Amino acid sequence: MLRPGGKLARSTGGHALLLTALFLQCETSRLVAQSIRDSRPLVPIACVPLKGVEGRLDHLAVDVASRKLFVAALEDHSVEVIDLAKRRRIHRLTGINEPQGLLFLPEHNRLLVCCRGDGTCRTFDARTYQEGPWADLGRNADNIRFDPASKLVLVGSGGEPGAGAFTAVPLAPLLPVTQGGQPSPPHSPADFLLDRPRQADSSMELPLPSHPESFQLDRANHRIFVNMPDEHQIAVLTLSSNLLSLTGTWPVTAGEKNFPMAFDAVSSRVFIATRKPPCLIEYDAPTGRVLSQTPCVGDADDLFCDAKVRRIYVIGGEGFVDVFQRPENAGEPVRLARVPTAFRARTGLHIPELSLFAIAVPHTTNGPATLLLFRTNP
């Protein structure tokens, strides 16, 4: 919990004081809160210091079973490992060339890390942190997902500037033999120079006109929706066990810089947020038709949808999380709350299994890097 006199990073003193007050209030009224239900959708419960971590923080992943949270510290070239139960940092994976996207595979207890600096996808045992097989994706490896049906690891890479790519890598070569993997023999100079034992090959690669940002899988229909901010559109891909193809595009006309995305499989809706102007946009997944456009927090980089309670969370570097409630029937989402966080804190993770919401706060002139933890209320 935040100690009296503690400090949170904000660009303005007023918001810093407000956030500090929220966390102090949560600590001092903890016993009362146990008996009186808090109606706020996000209730601050703790902040975890990340001492010594500098620069931009990117995406997060979680191991629910062991209550471990992984945070990509891009400019610090590390992945920070947080114990959510003890609310403290317990390990650091260092020497990683600008980590961005993270993926945790619970059935294999492995962490996959996509790196902007050298374009690799590296794998680690989440218990011992020993590095395993890896894949070379060219450059700027970013967002990552796993498709259980095809057993493919999907990664967006390239661009900034130049052409982008969407790559599918089979899972088996990324697993050690002890976990039933089928790693390839060393065949790249980097295998030997970096003392990495195996290098996995991609099975499919689809060229794209520019760098792909957040993407989401529609597993029931074997489709992938991909944000393409430089193209002002959403690309629609079709995935099978041996084919990855571009089958359509949806224009993004309500704004520019469409970075974050979420997909609600229950209602078949795609949600994106633009930064210029700040806007939450809802699409009908079967047709690509725009259903609603709602102003939201600025500088958004992460977006989450909780289908169970019909709630949407937009994290913005402007210093807030906007929480929206979707109506039972058709209609525009209604903002329930604008929750103060910190300036430049634009990435995080919704963890519904633990009723938690985490926000990564980078080091600024007003305070050190911090992980903010909130309890989610239905």
The answer to whether residue 61 sits within a structural domain is no
Q: Is residue 246 located within the same domain as residue 258?
A: no
The answer to whether residue 71 sits within a structural domain is no
Whether 240 shows a pLDDT value over 90: the answer reads: no
| Rounded mean pLDDT, 113-120 | 95
Residue-wise pLDDT for 82-109, tens only, equals 999 999 999 999 999 999 999 999 999 9
Predicted pLDDT at 194: 55
Residues 216 and 227: beta-carbon distance below 8 Å: no
Whether 319 shows a pLDDT value over 60: the answer reads: yes
Q: Is residue 340 located within the same domain as residue 368?
A: yes
Predicted pLDDT at 36: 45
> What CATH number corresponds to the domain at position 236?
2.130.10.10
Predicted pLDDT at 32: 43
Confidence band of 157 (pLDDT split at 50, 70, 90): very high
The answer to whether residue 79 sits within a structural domain is no
Whether 118 shows a pLDDT value over 50: the answer reads: yes
| Rounded mean pLDDT, 40-59 | 97
| Rounded mean pLDDT, 261-284 | 97
Domain range for 271 = 1-50+254-378
Residues 260 and 302: beta-carbon distance below 8 Å: yes
d(CA 64, CA 9): 27
Q: Is residue 108 located within the same domain as residue 230?
A: yes
Most confident of the ranges 34-48, 249-263, 325-339: 249-263
d(CA 127, CA 109): 7
Last residue of a domain, one of 201, 235, 251: 251
What is the pTM assigned to this prediction?
A: 0.88
Residues 287 and 268: beta-carbon distance below 8 Å: no
Predicted pLDDT at 17: 45
Q: Is residue 206 located within the same domain as residue 124?
A: yes
Whether 76 shows a pLDDT value over 50: the answer reads: yes
Whether 12 shows a pLDDT value over 90: the answer reads: no
d(CA 297, CA 279): 8
Weakest mean pLDDT among 24-33, 36-45, 161-170, 244-253 = 24-33
Q: Is residue 32 located within the same domain as residue 114?
A: no
Strands 347-351 and 57-63, bridge-based pairing:
unpaired
Q: Is residue 27 located within the same domain as residue 142?
A: no
The answer to whether residue 70 sits within a structural domain is no
Q: Which residue has the higher pLDDT, 310 or 179?
A: 310
Q: Is residue 232 located within the same domain as residue 101?
A: yes
The answer to whether residue 260 sits within a structural domain is yes
Predicted pLDDT at 200: 81
- Cβ-proximal residues to 318 (8 Å cutoff; 6+ apart), any chain: 278, 297, 298, 299, 343
Predicted pLDDT at 241: 75
Q: Is residue 276 located within the same domain as residue 369?
A: yes
Residues 110 and 84: beta-carbon distance below 8 Å: no
Q: Is residue 175 located within the same domain as residue 274?
A: no
Whether 5 shows a pLDDT value over 90: the answer reads: no
Please give the tally of structural domains in the chain. Answer: 2
Q: Is residue 296 located within the same domain as residue 364?
A: yes
The answer to whether residue 62 sits within a structural domain is no
Whether 217 shows a pLDDT value over 50: the answer reads: yes
Q: Is residue 283 located within the same domain as residue 240?
A: no
The answer to whether residue 368 sits within a structural domain is yes
Last residue of a domain, one of 228, 251, 274: 251
Last residue of a domain, one of 233, 251, 269: 251
Whether 318 shows a pLDDT value over 50: the answer reads: yes
Q: Is residue 167 located within the same domain as residue 132?
A: yes
Q: How is residue 229 written in tokens?
A: 């901010």
The answer to whether residue 115 sits within a structural domain is yes
Predicted pLDDT at 18: 46
Give 88-97 contacts, CB < 8 A, sequence gap 24+.
88/48, 89/48, 89/49, 89/50, 89/51, 91/129, 93/124, 93/129, 96/122
